Each structure stands twice: as structure tokens, then as C-alpha cells.
Chains A and B, each alone.
Chain A
Amino acid sequence: MSFPKKPGGKATDILQNLPRITLANLRPEPGSKKLEQRRGRGQHGGNRSGRGHKGERQRGNRPRLGFVGGSTPFYLAIPKYGYNEGHSCRPQYQPLSLKRLQYLIDLGRVDPTQPIDLTQLVNARGVTVQPLKRDYGVQLVDEGADIFAAKINIEVQRASEGAIAAIERNGGVVTTSFYDPISLGILIKPVPFFLRGQPIPRRMLPGEDMVPYYTNAENRGYLADPEKIQQARLALAQKYGYILPDISKDELYHMLSMRKDVRQIFFGLAPGWVVNMTEKKILKPTDEKLLKYYSS
């Protein structure tokens, strides 16, 4: 309808003619307060109080859960197999589809003119990462690859081939890097970390099993050789059938080529620095040993 709707609607008209709303007039929505069940009271709740008639049921002596009267119970008859073995040590990655990423960019929640980091994604409330639940970061997923059209410099922890192809087809840059759980917690919520007053720690290097992943150029790992990454980009372009746009001639080349150092967590800050939010100051270490440790 083109003419403005009256705010509040018909209910305000009715309310104008009703008596004043006071503390005595309030009552809960009918049906919202269900009375609790009281056992052993009254004609229907009393007598056996919902326990049944005689036997173990009424007397509260039923056997334990899973007991089937004496024969081997189901949970013992089935042999063990390591389906969930070590599940609490397995790294999990929160999926981020290209469709969702395009949605965030279109709404202006994520700025494509700056490098997109996990901090930016979390600030835009695009993903929710829980480092305490064995989340090691975010993985890019193929869904929405055909509608994706944004040139971005994105850094995630895992990326599928189709997602890498879709981003590079539009002239963007993907990097996969590793964050250990403590660094991940700091990366997601930087403000509570800065309020703690601790110096920014060094980002740990990946463990043995993850090193091959992050040194592989096809995954665009941050430890891989830049020349091999360039070759991998050409190979991927050939495989998926698109012309690889030349980034070096792009006006945003400087932004697209911004990468974090291996031990760095935040873009402008180095490990060892202390950020003071109340006084808006950054304190840097001057001791030789500390400098040597933090820059190693």
C-alpha cells in the first residue's frame, strides 16, 4: 500500500477506549503458563502417583539403562570400531560458502577493498567460530561459485578447489594459513585480548600432519613457494577453463598482495607488542633477547 500505515494498527484504537493499563490489569498470555504436574495430589494425581501397579516400576527398582533381562545387551554385542576415536582432537573448520560471502559483500558488512581476514568475517557476523570446540578456522566451500563476482584478498584456513577457482577467476587472491587455537581465539576477539594487557604472541607453525597441506601450492598455502603458486594458478585456470586475469596490472595490486608474516596474527601489529586501548598506545619491546625471540 502506498499510503502510510497507522503506527500500532487497530490495537492502539482499541487501547484508547480501554481502561488504564496498571499493575492490576496485567495478566499472562492465555496458554503461556502451564501448571506443573504435582504427583500424589487429588483424585487423578494421587493413589499410585503415576508409578503404575506393583513390581519394579512402582517400587523404583528397575535395572540400569541398556539391560535386556540377562542376554548380552545391544551395546555390548556390537563390536567396537573407531568411528569417533580421537574426535575431540580432530580439527574442525566452519564452512563459509561463496554465496554467503557474496551476500556479506553486497550488504556492505565486509569491505572488499581491504584484505579479508577471519577478524573481518567475525566482525561482520558472517561466521561464528568456536576455538574451544576444536575449530581451527574457516573453510571456503564451493556453493555459490557461479554467482560469485567480487575481487577480494581473502585468507582462510582451508579452501576447496572450486572456491579457489571462483575467486581467482574474478581477479582475487586466496591464501590458506594456519592459526593455532590460542592465536585463533585472539584473532576472533581482539578487543578482550587487548584488554588483558598481554603482549601479542607469535603464531605457531602447523603440526607435522598439516605441514604438507600448507606447503602445497595447489592449496595456496602460506608456506608454499610463490612461483609454484603462480604455476598452480595457471594450471587451475586451464583446468576450469577461464582466462587468469593479471593482478600485477590491477590498481588494487598493493592491497591484493598484502600477506601476513608467518608469525604474525594481525596485519598492522607484530608479535611482542602490547596494545593499550584506554590510552590508545602501542608498546614495543626494546630488550635484545625479547626482540630476538619475537622475530625468530
Chain B
Amino acid sequence: VMRPMSCPQFASSFAGESAVPSNLLLPTNLVDPSRTKRPPPSADCSLPVLRTCDAAIPAHLSPIQTWVETLERQDSEPVGVAQLHPDVFAVQPRLDILHQVEIWQRNFKRISHAHTKVRSEVKGGGRKPWNQKGGGRARHGSIRSPIWRGGGVSHGPRGPTSYYYMLPMKVRVQGLKVALSSKMTQDYLHIVDSLNIPTPDPQYLLDLIRHRHWGQSVLIVHVGEELPENILQATADMKTVNIIPAIGLNVHSMLKHEALVLTMETVQFLEEKLLWHDKRYTPLYPFKLPYSDL
């Protein structure tokens, strides 16, 4: 199975120059034989199962097994095995829902402030410039009509327009599930036991990512308010490696970053929140108000 490559082998005919020009931009979708795919853990694996699904899995589906890695060492040996819920991490890859949610995320916040003046709003132009007849010139009623230079715009953008709309809640939830599943199937999802790093040095993370061939950009998702300071300091000034809380997980960020790193508590949180929507009743009043049974 082929994967995008990080550093192609080029041979240069000029003796003095280096193999890869420095301003070469390669698409990351190129074939990369060096990024080997580690096969998913089989049933008879020596490593311990660190996490099982809390929610009930439907009888016709089986949980997904993934490796659990660690950030404390640079080597890429997995520490354990985790089981993920198939209804969150292996749903149908609905690319149309992903597209819908991505476009919604871009546009629902948009307010375009473009505004042009109509002929009645442009300063002046109340008086008829010259008589209707007798001048030899074309007839006009005001100097600010849209035909005139300096006149108003007939059908231009009018005022701040809002492009706000909401997709149904379940569509947005399904978008998150589809994004997580596509990261899972394409091997860009990595589960990590905790976010403890030995040094607050950003170079350590970059070396780790390069060594494990995770990709150009990594999105780390955590849960809870307390975080080890090392990772916060390391990711603070880095553009390509970003850390966000689990409530901030969104389709755009997931698609923008190549790799997604989740801790086991994050997986627990996400499963709980995303699976709740499959079984809930329709709301009588907004969910923010207290419900006794939901």
C-alpha cells in the first residue's frame, strides 16, 4: 500500500548543487515507499489492551483495534492496544457530508461588509442637470444615475450581508464521525497514552514526527484543563503542530492537519459525546436547559 513521501530521491546532473532545490514544493499526495504501514494488531498480540469501549457496540459490528503509542521516547514501538467504537471511527466515508460541513464552517461566520451607494444615497443629484429639450444633449434626470460616471451602483452589494445558516446538529456530528473515520482508515490517526514529553524543546517533537513518518502537520487533541507544561511550551511557537481541546475539534482542522493525535481520555470523551446523538430524543427546548432524563 503506497503512502505519500516526505523526501524524494532526486539525482542532479550538476555536480555542485544539492539534490533537492530548496524552493521545491511537492504535493504530499505523492507515493512514498518509506512510510510503511504497520498492520493493525491481531487478536493474539502480546501488548496489553489499554482501553476498551464503554458504550455498547452493536452485535453486527466489532470494535476497531489500534496501536497505542507513547511520546516519551523517540522510537516508534507501540505501548499497547486500544479498542475504538466502530460507530464513531468506522462509519461510511460520506465525503459529501464532509464537504457540506467544511463549507458550512467557512461560511456561517462570514459577514461581508461590502456596501455600495445607490443613486439615491450618492451625494447630490437631486436637480435635473439641464432642460429636457433644447440642449442637443441626451436627456437626464440626475447626475448620479447609474449611467453616469460617479453615479450610484444599481445592483451592487448592499450593506453587511450575513451568510449565516446552521446545518442540522446530527449532520455536523456525522461530519465529525466521518472525518475521524477517514483519518482512521487512511492511517493518519494515532492514539497516545498521555501527552508527557521529556523536554519542552520543539525540535524533539519535530524529530519524533519525522522519525515516525506522521506527516507534515499534526493536530493534538486533549481533554481536561490540566496539561503537562512541556507540550504546551513545545507547540506554542510551532505552526504545523497544534494542540486543541476536545471541544474545539472540528472538520476543518482535521482536514488541514495531516495527522491527528488523540489521547485515550480524548477518545473516551469523543465517543461519549458523539454516540449520545444516535440515541437521544428530539429536543423539546434547547439542550442547554436542564433535562431530567436525557
Q: Quick check: A123 and B99 within 8 Å, CB to CB?
A: no
The answer, yes or no, to whether A17 is at the interface (CB within 8 Å) is: yes
Q: Quick check: A7 and B255 within 8 Å, CB to CB?
A: no
- Residues on B with C-beta less than 8 A from A9 are 92
Task: Name the residue of chain A whose CB is nearest to the CB of B293.
Answer: A123
The answer for the CA separation of A192 and B291 in the assembled complex, in Å, is 10
Q: Quick check: B188 and A20 within 8 Å, CB to CB?
A: yes
Q: Mark B72-116, 1 if CB is under 8 A from A, else 0.
A: 000000000000001100111101101110110000000000000
The answer, yes or no, to whether A16 is at the interface (CB within 8 Å) is: yes
The answer for the CA separation of A277 and B289 in the assembled complex, in Å, is 10
- Residues on A with C-beta less than 8 A from B92 are 8-9, 11
The answer for the CA separation of A1 and B61 in the assembled complex, in Å, is 12
- The stretch among A27-35, A45-53, A212-220, A262-270 that forms the contact with chain B is A27-35
Task: Name the residue of chain A whose CB is nearest to the CB of B289.
Answer: A191
- Residues on B with C-beta less than 8 A from A77 are none
Task: Name the residue of chain A whose CB is nearest to the CB of B2.
Answer: A17
Q: Quick check: A17 and B289 within 8 Å, CB to CB?
A: no
Task: Name the residue of chain A whose CB is nearest to the CB of B181.
Answer: A8
Q: Mark A99-140, 1 if CB is under 8 A from B, else 0.
A: 000000000000000000000001101000000000000000
Q: Mark A14-47, 1 if CB is under 8 A from B, else 0.
A: 0111111111001111001000000000000000
The answer, yes or no, to whether A64 is at the interface (CB within 8 Å) is: no
The answer for the CA separation of A12 and B252 in the assembled complex, in Å, is 21
The answer, yes or no, to whether B185 is at the interface (CB within 8 Å) is: yes
- Residues on B with C-beta less than 8 A from A26 are 95, 98-99, 102, 255
Task: Name the residue of chain B whose CB is nearest to the CB of A28.
Answer: B99
Q: Quick check: A22 and B255 within 8 Å, CB to CB?
A: yes
Q: Closest approach, in angstroms, between the C-beta of A290 and any C-beta of chain B?
A: 28
Q: Quick check: A7 and B282 within 8 Å, CB to CB?
A: no
Q: Quick check: B1 and A192 within 8 Å, CB to CB?
A: no
Q: Quick check: B62 and A21 within 8 Å, CB to CB?
A: no
Tell me what chain A mostly uses at the interface: helix, strand, loop, or mixed. Answer: loop
Q: Quick check: B4 and A20 within 8 Å, CB to CB?
A: yes
Q: Quick check: B284 and A15 within 8 Å, CB to CB?
A: no
- Residues on A with C-beta less than 8 A from B182 are 15, 21
The answer, yes or no, to whether B256 is at the interface (CB within 8 Å) is: yes
- Contacting residue for B185 out of A12, A29, A122, A191, CB 8 A: A12
Q: Quick check: A7 and B62 within 8 Å, CB to CB?
A: yes
CB within 8 Å of A: which B253-294 residues: 255-256, 258, 281-282, 284-285, 289-293
Task: Name the residue of chain B whose CB is nearest to the CB of A26.
Answer: B99
Task: Name the residue of chain B whose CB is nearest to the CB of A122.
Answer: B284
Q: Quick check: A191 and B285 within 8 Å, CB to CB?
A: yes
Q: Quick check: B64 and A21 within 8 Å, CB to CB?
A: no
Most chain B beta-carbon contacts within 10 A, residue among A23, A32, A125, A277: A23
- Contacting residue for B285 out of A5, A16, A21, A189, CB 8 A: A189
The answer for the CA separation of A27 and B293 in the assembled complex, in Å, is 40
- Residues on B with C-beta less than 8 A from A19 are 4, 29
- Residues on A with C-beta less than 8 A from B187 are 16
The answer, yes or no, to whether B186 is at the interface (CB within 8 Å) is: yes
Q: Quick check: B61 and A21 within 8 Å, CB to CB?
A: no
The answer for the CA separation of A243 and B84 in the assembled complex, in Å, is 57
The answer for the CA separation of A257 and B2 in the assembled complex, in Å, is 73
Q: Quick check: A8 and B96 within 8 Å, CB to CB?
A: no
The answer for the CA separation of A29 and B1 in the assembled complex, in Å, is 27
The answer for the CA separation of A188 and B285 in the assembled complex, in Å, is 11
A20 and B99 contact, Cβ closer than 8 Å, known pairs A8-B91, A123-B293, A191-B290: no
The answer, yes or no, to whether A60 is at the interface (CB within 8 Å) is: no
The answer, yes or no, to whether B60 is at the interface (CB within 8 Å) is: yes
Q: Quick check: A23 and B289 within 8 Å, CB to CB?
A: no
CB within 8 Å of A: which B165-220 residues: 181-182, 185-188
Q: Quick check: A4 and B185 within 8 Å, CB to CB?
A: no
- Residues on B with C-beta less than 8 A from A15 are 93, 182, 185-186
CB within 8 Å of A: which B29-52 residues: 29
Q: Quick check: A5 and B289 within 8 Å, CB to CB?
A: no
The answer, yes or no, to whether B12 is at the interface (CB within 8 Å) is: no
The answer for the CA separation of A32 and B99 in the assembled complex, in Å, is 11
- Contacting residue for B90 out of A7, A17, A23, A28, CB 8 A: A7
- Residues on A with C-beta less than 8 A from B293 are 123
The answer for the CA separation of A11 and B102 in the assembled complex, in Å, is 21
The answer for the CA separation of A28 and B64 in the assembled complex, in Å, is 29
The answer for the CA separation of A218 and B29 in the assembled complex, in Å, is 77
The answer for the CA separation of A18 and B64 in the assembled complex, in Å, is 20
Q: Quick check: A7 and B86 within 8 Å, CB to CB?
A: yes
Could you list 5 further interchain pairs (A-B, Cβ under 8 angstroms) beyond the known A17-B1, A20-B258?
A: A4-B60, A21-B255, A23-B102, A27-B95, A123-B284
Task: Across the A-B interface, give the 10 residue pairs with the lowest CB-CB distance, nearest first.
Answer: A7-B90, A7-B86, A29-B96, A19-B29, A26-B99, A8-B90, A12-B185, A4-B62, A15-B185, A7-B61
Contact residues of A with B, CB < 8 Å?
1, 4-5, 7-9, 11-12, 15-23, 26-29, 32, 122-123, 125, 188-189, 191-192, 195, 277
| 10 A/B residue pairs, CB under 8 Å, sorted by A | A4-B59, A7-B91, A8-B90, A11-B93, A17-B2, A22-B256, A27-B99, A28-B99, A29-B99, A189-B284
